[in-house]
Amino acid sequence: MDKRARFLAALARQPVDRPPVWLMRQAGRYLPGYRAVRAEHGFWDVCHTPELSTRVALEPLKKFPLDAAIVFSDILIVPEALGAGVTFEKGEGPVFERTMRSRDDLKQWNTTGLMERLAFMPNAVRHLAKTLAGSHGILGFAGAPFTLFAYSVEGGGSDDFRHARAMLTTDPGLARDAMNLFADAIAELCLAQLAAGADAVQLFDTWGGLLDKADYRAFAVPALNRAAATIRKAGKPVILFIKGGMHLLEVIKDIEVDGVSLDWRTSYSEARAALPGKLLQGQLDPVLLFGSEAAVRERTRAVLDEINRLPGGPGGCIVNLGHGILPQTPETNVAALVDEVVRWRA
Ligand code: 1CP
Separation of alpha carbons 18 and 293, rounded Å: 21
Instruction: Determine whether 297 is an active site residue.
Output: no
Instruction: Give the mutation target among 21, 23, 25, 90 for probing the ligand 1 site: most ligand atoms within 8 A of CB.
Output: 25
- pLDDT in the model for residue 89: 79
- pLDDT in the model for residue 346: 79
Instruction: Determine whether 25 is an active site residue.
Output: yes
Ligand 1 contact via 329 beta carbon (within 6 Å): no
Work out the average pLDDT over 141-164. Answer: 98
For residue 312, pLDDT over 90 is answered with: no
Inter-axis angle of helices 145-154 and 221-231, nearest 10: 130
Ligand 1 contact via 72 beta carbon (within 6 Å): yes
Instruction: Give the mutation target among 38, 55, 73, 74 for probing the ligand 1 site: most ligand atoms within 8 A of CB.
Output: 74
Measuring CA to CA, which residue among 241, 303, 294 is closest to residue 70? 241
Q: Which residues pair with 244 in a beta bridge?
A: none
Going by the DSSP 8-state scheme, the letter that residue 182 receives in this structure is: H
* Gap from CA of 311 to ligand 1 centroid (Å): 34
Instruction: Determine whether 35 is an active site residue.
Output: no
Measuring CA to CA, which residue among 309, 263, 323, 332 is closest to residue 19? 309
Provide, for the chain, the percentages of residues in helix, strand and coil under a 3-state DSSP scheme, each rounded to the nearest 5: 55, 10, 35
- pLDDT in the model for residue 21: 98
Half-sphere exposure of 102 (CA within 13 A, CB side): 3
Structure confidence by residue, pLDDT tens digits, 221-243: 999 999 999 999 999 999 999 99
Q: Topology of 45-63+71-203+216-239 in CATH?
A: TIM Barrel (3.20.20)
Instruction: Specify the residue with its C-alpha closest to ligand 1, atom 21.
Output: 324
Ligand 1 contact via 25 beta carbon (within 6 Å): yes
Structure confidence by residue, pLDDT tens digits, 68-102: 999 999 999 999 999 999 999 777 789 999 999 99
- pLDDT in the model for residue 345: 86
Length of the chain: 346
pTM here is 0.97
Map out the domains of the chain as residue ranges: 45-63+71-203+216-239
For residue 159, pLDDT over 90 is answered with: yes
Instruction: Determine whether 268 is an active site residue.
Output: no
* Gap from CA of 79 to ligand 1 centroid (Å): 14
Mean pLDDT of the chain: 97
CA dihedral 11, 325, 127, 260 (to 10 degrees): 20
